[in-house]
Structure 1
Amino acid sequence: MAGKKKVTSTDIARAAGVSQATVSMVLNRKYNVSFSKETVRKVEEAAKELGYVLPKRKVRKESRREKLLVVFCSNLTNPYYVMLLQGIELRAKEQGYGLFVCNTQRDLRMEERYLKMMNELHPVGIIYTCNPSHCFMDTVEKLAEEIPVVIVNNQNEHLNVDAVELDNSKLGRIMARHLLELGHRKVAYIAPPLTVRQKQRSKRVEGFLKEFEKAGLRDQVIIKAADEEIDLDIAHIDSEYKIGYDLTKELLAEQQDVTAIVGLNDMIAFGILDALQEAKLKVPGDVSVMGCDNTLFASMHKMSLTTIEHFVIFKGRDACDIIMKKIDSRREKYTDVEPISTYHVEYEPRLIVRGTTSYPKSGTKSRKKKN
């Protein structure tokens, strides 16, 4: 017995008295083309009577794999990470790639959870906007054997993956030299928790201290770092700002003769500025203030923050470019041997002097404690 003949769109067109193209557009719900209700009714009824079944669309299994980049961020409350993301997204969009952002909030469990998801997501590349946690270094290096992995990291970390590097020690040295050249001798440095997990922070502080040590003034630097518990809490929108604000209030209660206060980053510096304003201290007349990262808010007239530019958006763009180069090199084989290359990109940081730093005020040491 012969098998039942398969119903086609041409059969429906004949039964409904319309063109085959009309049948195709009606049944495939092409909403950019309009038909009368009568035409739609005819086509649908004919299809139903003839037992027509829409052919299943072929789903390209590799389409998601070819288009998805994963970005690991530790904190999206700091504009620094948003700027990195902006650089990555601009380049990814140009190349037709989508982003999946993993905000770990510096939580080891969150980071582990996202890393386990990589087998399901099948990204073509991964960008870490900070160093991976030490306990996951092996996992990240294994992933890098399968797909391109780029880390925007501290130069002193040794990883067998591609990196857009940042010499945090150099940033600290530039900040210190600026204040020393202005004549500041007694200064304070305010930082988030300086834990083993956050080596990049410590490197920035160490660079700062080395310059003061060379000038014979190491004991004139007061380091105030937040408690480790702050990193264990979920990052709030104002967490780094609060570190700057709260620790400056503490500092003013303890010390009255610092002529400059440095924030490890711009967000901390904004908190320092507000605490000084609340204490009715003029910036830079009474106390100079410095930040780092040259985030968007730093250049606003009310802030006018002296800071360090290290080309954050460019770093995001370059991290994405490295992924693209690795993907292309695997596609375009001109030899039987697969090329192995490791990219390292580094920008020379620049001091941006604005309105929050100046020469120390004479007689600062005799400044009276304010109630």
Structure 2
Amino acid sequence: MTTIYDIAELSGYSITTVSKVLNDYPNVSQKAKKKVMQAVDELGYTPNSSARTLVTNKSWLIGVVFSENLGVGIAHPFFSEVIESFKKHVELYNFDLLFLSRNRGLEQETFNHLKHRGVDGVVVVQAFGDNMVNIDESPFPIVFIDLPVDRPSSVHSDNRHGSKLAVDHLVDLGHKKIAHIMGEQTVFAADERIKGFKKAMESHNLAIPETYMVSGGYFSYEGGREAMIKLLANQDKPTAVVVSGDMMAIGAMKVIEEAGLKVPDDISIIGFDDIAIAKHTNPPLTTIKQDKELIGRQAAIMLLDKMNGETKQYTKVVPVQLIKRGSCRAL
């Protein structure tokens, strides 16, 4: 089995320098890195994880606490893309991921398990804040994705502005009777989108009938269907609907079709997320794009910085963008 002694001999550098290169220490010249990595490739060296842990006093593990109430886990298009982006970035620094997807968030049992596994850091994705342990007592750095702004070290989209973009677009098209299919209000992102919708409607002096605010639950296709059925029951139907998630929007579009109506001829629809399938619906879905790759990358950068001693706590708000397709029309 090839060892770092073999790499040192072939590269001409000391054991200490080889070890620093393999463990990505910053105080190594580019020339030394190049020569050492050439030797690694030539010898086909694979580092022993147990030995690496002993040498660096790190587990090289990052815990991923994933919690959502829809039941699809990371198969949901938004979360899968965010986590994939996070994974790609931390893998550049030789970290592996330990997934804990128990729909419970960062509660005490999960926290204890992470401590037992000796993780170097943790990213918490869409957990619900009520049952969290005191993170001030955490032995490892923690970064949150899609959690309230008062959480230290968190990354989330500008959800309120996304709702404003949606309402502004519909108003520009001449719509005044605009409804909202909400996500579950206990979810931070959904609550922010509701607030953004109400504020945007108010800024245009547009009333929101109570029956125009309908919950689609946890962002599912079925939830969107049920919500749209309720909206179509209105005597005075909306001409447009801002939907808090693309999967719900696709469900709503199907109900409109089943009712003998058309999108956008009879009702315009705007989603939120810009999941991959949104461009392939009939008609293609106008939506608010979340930069899922940037969310994952920013969370990775923030966590790696904290693991390297950064003590500053801050929130990173990722911009959103209106993507115009075929599901909205001018009146």
TM tier relative to shorter chain:
0.7 to 0.9
Q: 1:189 to 1:112 in 2, by over 3 A?
A: farther
Q: 1:276 to 1:94 in 2, by over 3 A?
A: same
Query: C-alpha distance in 2, partners of 1:173/1:58?
Result: 49
Of 156, 162, 180, which residue of structure 1 is paired with 2:171? 180
Question: For residue 121 of structure 2, what is the amino acid of its counterpart?
Answer: G
Instruction: Please report how far the alpha carbon of residue 66 of structure 1 lies from its aligned counterpart in structure 2 after TM superposition.
Output: 3.0
Query: C-alpha distance in 2, partners of 1:304/1:351?
Result: 14
Question: For residue 149 of structure 1, what is the amino acid of its counterpart?
Answer: I
Instruction: Please report how far the alpha carbon of residue 103 of structure 1 lies from its aligned counterpart in structure 2 after TM superposition.
Output: 2.1
1:264-343 maps to which residues of 2 (within 5 A)?
Answer: 264-300=244-280, 302=282, 304-327=284-307, 329-330=308-309, 340-343=311-314
Based on CA coordinates, which of the two structures has the bigger radius of gyration?
Answer: 1
% of aligned pairs identical? 23
Query: C-alpha distance in 2, partners of 1:290/1:188?
Result: 11
Indicate yes or no: 2:204 matched with 1:215. Answer: yes
**Contact 2:141–2:306 at 8 Å: present in 1 too?**
yes
Indicate yes or no: 2:129 matched with 1:133. Answer: yes
SS in 2 for 1:217: coil
Q: 1:274 to 1:141 in 2, by over 3 A?
A: farther
Unaligned runs of 5+ residues in structure 1 are 1-56, 232-238, 331-338, 361-371
Question: For residue 313 of structure 1, what is the amino acid of its counterpart?
Answer: E
**Contact 2:224–2:249 at 8 Å: present in 1 too?**
yes
Paired residues in the alignment total 276
- Specify the alignment match of 2:149 in structure 1: 157
Question: For residue 193 of structure 2, what is the amino acid of its counterpart?
Answer: R
Once the two structures are superposed, what CA deviation does each residue of 1:319-359 show, in whole Å capped at 9, x if it has no partner?
112222233x34xxxxxxxx522343332211111111111
SS in 1 for 2:273: coil
Query: C-alpha distance in 1, partners of 2:319/2:153?
Result: 18
1:191-202 maps to which residues of 2 (within 5 A)?
Answer: 191-195=182-186, 198-202=187-191
Instruction: Please report how far the alpha carbon of residue 82 of structure 1 lies from its aligned counterpart in structure 2 after TM superposition.
Output: 0.8
- Specify the alignment match of 1:68 in structure 2: 61
Once the two structures are superposed, what CA deviation does each residue of 1:147-167 show, in whole Å capped at 9, x if it has no partner?
22111235x6312x3222333
Of 85, 88, 94, which residue of structure 2 is paired with 1:87? 85
SS in 2 for 1:281: coil
- Specify the alignment match of 1:26 in structure 2: none
SS in 2 for 1:177: helix
Q: 1:278 to 1:246 in 2, by over 3 A?
A: same
Q: 1:300 to 1:286 in 2, by over 3 A?
A: same
Question: For residue 62 of structure 1, what is the amino acid of its counterpart?
Answer: T
Question: For residue 97 of structure 1, what is the amino acid of its counterpart?
Answer: F
Once the two structures are superposed, what CA deviation does each residue of 1:292-345 show, in whole Å capped at 9, x if it has no partner?
111111122645211112311211012112222233x34xxxxxxxx5223433
SS in 2 for 1:118: helix
Q: 1:276 to 1:301 in 2, by over 3 A?
A: closer
Query: C-alpha distance in 2, partners of 1:141/1:223?
Result: 38
Once the two structures are superposed, what CA deviation does each residue of 1:104-131 show, in whole Å capped at 9, x if it has no partner?
43x46x8543223112121111112235
Question: For residue 259 of structure 1, what is the amino acid of its counterpart?
Answer: T
**Contact 2:231–2:237 at 8 Å: present in 1 too?**
no
Task: Calculate the TM-score normalised by the size of structure 1.
Answer: 0.68
Query: C-alpha distance in 2, partners of 1:276/1:267?
Result: 15
Task: Calculate the TM-score normalised by the size of structure 2.
Answer: 0.75
Query: C-alpha distance in 2, partners of 1:183/1:102?
Result: 47
Aligned-residue RMSD, C-alpha: 2.6
Query: C-alpha distance in 2, partners of 1:301/1:319?
Result: 31
**Contact 1:191–1:243 at 8 Å: present in 2 too?**
no
Structure 1 ranges of 4+ moved more than 6 A: none
Query: C-alpha distance in 1, partners of 2:111/2:200?
Result: 39
- Specify the alignment match of 1:48 in structure 2: none
**Contact 2:287–2:324 at 8 Å: present in 1 too?**
yes
Indicate yes or no: 2:232 matched with 1:252. Answer: yes
Instruction: Please report how far the alpha carbon of residue 244 of structure 1 lies from its aligned counterpart in structure 2 after TM superposition.
Output: 0.2
